[in-house]
Structure formats: C-alpha cells, structure tokens
Structure 1
Amino acid sequence: MSPVRQLLASLRMMLVLTLALGVVFPALVWGVGRAVAGDQAAGSLVHRDGAVVGSSLLGQAVKDPALFHPRPSTSEYAGDTSGGSNLAESSADQATAIAERRTAYADIAEGQPTADALTASASGLDPDISPEFARAQVARVAAATGLDATRVAQLVREHTTGRQLGFLGEPRVNVLELNLAVDALR
C-alpha cells in the first residue's frame, strides 16, 4: 500500500471516528438523558413564577436573616471555581477558617455548631445541610419572618430527605427548596 493511500485511509478513519465519537455518541447520550431523566439532564433547575431561581443540585450564598443559610463554601458558591480547600485538619489555615465560622455560627444558629456548619463541602457547592443545622436556624428564621417557630420547624421536617435506598448517605435538607417554602409563607 502506498503512503498516499495510507494517508487517505487514515484521514477517512479519523473523520468517521470524529463524527461517531464526537457528534453521534454525545448526541445519543444527551437524547437518552433527556428522555429518561429530563429534569436532571437539564440541570435540575428550580423555577418560581416562571423564572429560574437556582438548581436543586447547587448551593447558593444566602445573606438574608429571614432565610436558612447553607454550609460554608471555599469557592463562594461559584461553579466555575468549584472545589474544596484541600487543607488538612491540622492546617493552621483550616483552624482559622473553622474558628471564623464558629464565630459566625452564633449569628445564624443556636446551640453547638454541627460539622456541616463549620466545614465546606468537597465541591464548595453542596446544596444540602444536615437536619440538625436546619433546626438550629429555626428560631432566627421564625423571628426574622414573623412566622411561628413551630411552623418553621415543620417546614424543616417536610423538607428533610432521608437516606437513599434507606441506607446510603445521611438525612439532609435542600436549602434552596426550604427557603422557597419559607418565602411562600411570608
């Protein structure tokens, strides 16, 4: 086989594989994703009054005292810079960050801080908090919204998701969905 024929065969193969693996296969995966799990494939967007207010899969910064606060983020909840700090527990920077978060905790919750109130998630975008952290914020949210604390605590219970399949993970509360429920009542 001549070098020219080999080159043409190689170019044809590259074109076929580029189309198959770079266009057809991704389009097929996208189509199956949309058909089987359309909401998740589209980013699990949360809508309110026809507008997108966030994603149930991504945490957001919350400063409003009338809303539940998420766990800390090392990326300031920016998806393009997502990631953990990679600081060891023995790191002086980690100790300083936890001390600062412990001080800030007193302004947003009651009682002993939970681990998720003091530490950022690995992605820095975790949308969930522990039910304990949510319950520790009930009094502040109730006072700031004028809602009855019993009703706010009920919202926390209603928005607590158990372990997946009954044994995977920990119970959790999606902060965005909980805050939307609080907003709907005030």
Structure 2
Amino acid sequence: TIVLSCLSMGLAVAIGVAIATGRVYGGRLARATLTAYVELIRGTPILLQLFVLYYGLAAAVRLPAFVAALLGLALNYAAYESEIYRSALEAIPVGQLEAARTLGLSERQVLALVRAPQAFRLALAPMTNDFVALLKDSSLVSVLTVVELTKQTQIFATNLGSWVIPGSLCAALYLVMSLPLAVLARRLEQRWRTPQG
C-alpha cells in the first residue's frame, strides 16, 4: 500500500506539474486539451478508470495489475494535483512577476526563481491532503487483484470467518498512516497560508 501510494503520488505530481504549466503558459489548443483531460478525469469515478485501464485495454495491451493500479491512481490524482498547482501559480501577485520581468529575467527565470518557489509553498498543504486521500483510495485497486492492505485484510477475514478483528486492524493501520500526514497538512496550511512579499 505504501509503495503503491508513494509511486502513484510521485507520478501524479510530475504529470500534474506538466498539466498545470501547460494550462498557465500553453497556447489555446494546449489549454483546451489539458482542461478537457482534467474535467474528464474529475468527472468520472476512479473505479471506472481502473477498470478501463486493466480490463478495457486488455484486448490491445495487457497491463500487469500493479502497473494498471499505479497508472490509474497516478492519472486520476494528476488531474487534481494540476488544479492545485495551477491555482498556486496564478495566486502569485502579478506585481512580483512584472518586477522580475522589468529586471530582465526571462519567462523561464521568472517561473523558476519567483513564481514556482512561492507556488510550491502554497501547494504543499493541499498536496499532503491529496496524498492522504490517495493512500485511502489505494484500497480500490483490490478489485484488480492487487494484494494491498485491504485485499490482504479480505483474505485474512475470509480465512478467519470474521471481519471484526481484521477490519479493525486494517482501519487502525490506515489511521496510523494517514493521521500524521493530515496533522502535517494542517500545520503547513496554517504556516504558509499566503505568499510572502
């Protein structure tokens, strides 16, 4: 569960940054295409997306269950991450950007030296919240036969003939993994609520 969540989040962040950058700096066609992707992903259930990747594409390409789970979670969360990054980029005061351009910085330098560092600070708390959500959503990949925490709990409960103890232990493990991250997200949000300058 932890490995799947970390890999999925890493890929989601990379794709999300690319989408957000394209929507902020890209041309009309790029913005329209990326916006359509974000709305499609956000408008359909993640479980359906997992089924399409694993079962729907099986005739053309048979993805291993773990790979389909990784891609499904990453592509889904990339859409949400991109909205966080886009909002963070657009939250930086225009005056700062214009001042940087006046000093002779190129658009790439403005992004790297002025806009991105502040946007990262704004995005960090929502990113942490999203990782907590992804950690819990990773339980959905059990439908693809990936043996993660929830699937292992199901197997154990079936063998035991009861869900009480296995279910309680599973819930406790998810809480142990997610609560510290939720606390961290709240603290980051309180500390870095608005951009400096």
Smaller-chain TM-score bracket: under 0.3
Task: Select the structure that is richer in strand.
Answer: 1
Q: Given the two structures, how large is their TM-score scaled by the length of structure 2?
A: 0.23
Task: Select the structure that is richer in helix.
Answer: 2
Q: Given the two structures, how large is their TM-score scaled by the length of structure 1?
A: 0.24
**Structure of higher CA gyration radius:** 1
